[in-house]
Amino acid sequence: MLVREGIKALIFVCLVALGIPICCGQNISRGSFPKGFVFGIASSAYQYEGAVKEDGRGQTIWDTFAHSFGKVIDFSNADVANDQYHLYSDDVQLMKDMGMDAYRFSIAWSRIYPNGTGKINQAGIDHYNDLINALLAKGIEPYVTLYHWDLPQSLEDKYRGWLNPQIIKDFATFAETCFKEFGDRVKYWITLNEPHNVAVQGYDVGLQAPGRCSILLGAFCRAGNSATEPYIVGHNMLLSHAAVVDIYKKKYKVKQQGSIGITLDTYWYEPATNSSADIQATQRAIDFNLGWFIEPVILGDYPKSMRIRVGSRLPRFSPAQSNLLKGSFDFIGINHYTTWYAKENNINIMGILLNDSLADSGAFTLPIALGKPIPDRANSVWLYIVPHGIRSLMNYIRRKYGNPLVLITENGMDDGNNPLRSIKNALKDKKRIKYHNDYLTNLLAAIKEDGCNVRGYFVWSLLDNWEWAAGYTSRFGLYYVDFNDKLRKRYSKDSAKWFKNFLAS
């Protein structure tokens, strides 16, 4: 015992001498997790690649949205972003240096089909072949997301994109092209990233592309119907997911020996008070966030609370569609960052002028509540740091949905982009280290103590990136990116060094 403790002390001294941060009384490491547990890092094409007009890439709804005045808080766009289109080889080496097992990235639909359909762009195929091969050469497993919000603008112009059932066929064609071209090496596929966020942010409140809504019609959104469009979009996304999974399982899965799933975003919600009204409102908040998309792919239909409260505005699945959806996954990806409180909303606070998906839930949600402790906050106004939430969420999925295989496909926190702060100081991100340590500790407890079937954890994100409507005001990366440098130079933050130590332990 004395020898063991002496070795631990020596390791501690060496780590400090090497400048590797020690934080939070960490007593977990890669070795604490079950054998085969995957540690990875996540990104998306639009937030990372740049090169928006190179090698035949078509325009996307986010190109249009980002170049529309007032849509992005700092008036920036992702024309260059992290320039990973050109710098992917360097970034793969950063992942290798940290010891990451996997890289989750998305394929830009408009690089493969510039017009959404029609002729394949070989330059796009070549780029992703190069990226996939570079990853595998370094021993890093590619996890590929087929849709991470960057719909080809031509499909939006042609038939209003996700609002039209035609997109089911076009998305399936794009997905099958990816299976054919990359499936011999890609063994993990994700059909859609955060369909709930797409439906609500893009078609209910209009804060993300394509920016449709009716709540603020005339003041913010040019067109839309917040009472119906989020549900139509969600419905078409679910049917697109089911169609793609069906194609993969029937034509490619056996030969390519891969797995396919979907990634869903969800907060964890807790009652603002112990009243029965707030407890019931909390369940509805979960139903209208996680349940909206997880219940169709597990059970074949929407939550009962949605059916009751949305009524005829919520589309129905035919028996054949329901059967296709039910069980349409090998794993469920969960993007989880924070926990909020829920309170009964019986005066339609969020939808005074009309019905919409936020008001329909009958739950008013906020990150703070009277009489409750106020958690520490990251930079984003919505991101409060509540580590126990991830354990509660995993147990909810275990109990309610039969303990399906889950991957945490995103988890992380952001710092602000303070122009007065030196790069040297920006690299000292102790709060991020504590965030990941504490969330991983709770995730480990969910796995080992509670029996939750979780087999992977992907950090958001490798690099500081263009963060959608927040532009460059938000830094989520383990590596700092100097956006004032034309070469987009990367700098290792303390959190990257921490993860290297965590994964090597």
Q: Which residues are catalytic?
A: 194, 410
Cα(458)–Cα(329) distance, rounded to whole angstroms? 19
Cα(37)–Cα(455) distance, rounded to whole angstroms? 5
DSSP-assigned beta bridge partners for residue 268: 339
**Residue 323 identity (one-letter amino acid):** N
Which residues touch 324 (CB under 8 Å, ≥6 apart)? Answer: 242, 243, 246
Helix (H, G, I), strand (E, B) or coil at 369: coil
| Element of type H or E holding 333 | strand 331-335
DSSP labels, 127-196: HHHHHHHHHHHTT-EEEEEEESS--BHHHHHHH-GGGSTHHHHHHHHHHHHHHHHHTTT--EEEEEE-HH
Q: For strand 331-335 and strand 454-459, is the pairing parallel, antiparallel, or unpaired?
A: unpaired
Which residues touch 218 (CB under 8 Å, ≥6 apart)? Answer: none
CA-based nearest residue to 257, from 187, 192, 198: 187
Phi, psi values for residue 117, rounded to 5°? -145, 180
Distance in Å from the first CA to the final CA of the chain: 19
Give yes or no for a contact between 292 and 234, defined as CB atoms under 8 angstroms apart: yes
Token pair of 157, please? Answer: 């112009």
Cα(326)–Cα(486) distance, rounded to whole angstroms? 48
DSSP labels, 78-119: -SSTT-HHHHHHHHHHHHHHHT-SEEEEE--HHHH-TTSSSS
Which residues touch 404 (CB under 8 Å, ≥6 apart)? Answer: 298, 329, 331, 332, 397, 453
DSSP labels, 378-415: -SSTT-B--THHHHHHHHHHHHHHT---EEEEEE---E
